[in-house]
Amino acid sequence: MRTKLLTLLGAALALAPGAFSHCDTLDGPVVADARAALEKGDVTAVLKWVRADDEAAIREAFATTLKVRALGAEARGLADMRFFETLVRIHRESEGAPYTGLKPAGTIDPAFVAADRALETGSVDKLAEEIAKHVAEGVKARFAHAREARLHADESVEAGRAYVAAYVRYIHYVEALHAAGKHEGHGEAEEGGHEGHHD
């Protein structure tokens, strides 16, 4: 589990934002807030997940869901799922991210679990250390491979191509890390919106 977590943590930095997702899972934070809101009969908890422009649509969907839930257990289950789908779809659209349906519970990437746990515990030190360590190892490994291949690049066309392949992997990894470091997150996004971060 630790190895997989570190791999995913590094990949989360190295890949373009939005490559991973956890807000569209049935045990993700959006649906968790939706479940709580439905139980309380108060939509307030889920409004933070959508833009102000979409609030009316969510309020209407929530009110309809409450009415349908009163018709029985089967209707309740169907109504809840419909509301979850509507909420997550609108949330994803607000980020400019595609909505491909709700994912089953238990499919959240360990990297996101660790990030959420850090928020719950109030300390991000362990998470930051693990990410930094894994990323450093990734850079060093790709550098070593590219450096070794470079020493033999002029020995043959095949060796030259092997160097180019290693060079591209090394440069693209560093480039992706640099881009991820500069990318705006929720806290830096334009006020009132969710642009710039896909979860």
* Whole-prediction pTM: 0.58
CB 107 within 8 A of CB 62: no
Query: What is d(CA 8, CA 179) in angstroms, rounded to the nearest whole number?
Result: 17
Provide the pLDDT for residue 187.
Answer: 42
Q: Which residue carries 């409450």 as its tokens?
A: 66
74: amino acid identity, one letter: E
146-178 per-position pLDDT tens digit:
999 999 999 999 999 999 999 999 999 999 888
Return all residues near 102 (Cβ < 8 A) that are at least 6 apart. 24, 25, 26, 31, 81, 84, 85, 88
Query: What is d(CA 20, CA 112) in angstroms, rounded to the nearest whole number?
Result: 9
CB 62 within 8 A of CB 90: no
What is the dihedral angle through the alpha carbons of 20, 22, 23, 28, rounded to the nearest 10 degrees? 180
Residue 25 pairs with which residues in a beta bridge? 103
27-54 per-position pLDDT tens digit:
888 999 999 999 999 999 999 999 999 9
- The CA angle 142-144-147, to the nearest 5 degrees, is 105
Top pLDDT among 59 and 12 is at 59
Question: Per the structure block, which two tokens stand in for 165?
Answer: 């392949």
105-124 per-position pLDDT tens digit:
776 677 777 787 888 889 98
Spell out the domain ranges in the chain: 1-16+123-190, 22-94
Query: What is d(CA 160, CA 52) in angstroms, rounded to the nearest whole number?
Result: 55
Please tell me the number of Cα atoms within 13 Å of 52 on its side-chain side: 4
Q: Which residue carries 């830096």 as its tokens?
A: 188
Length of the chain: 199
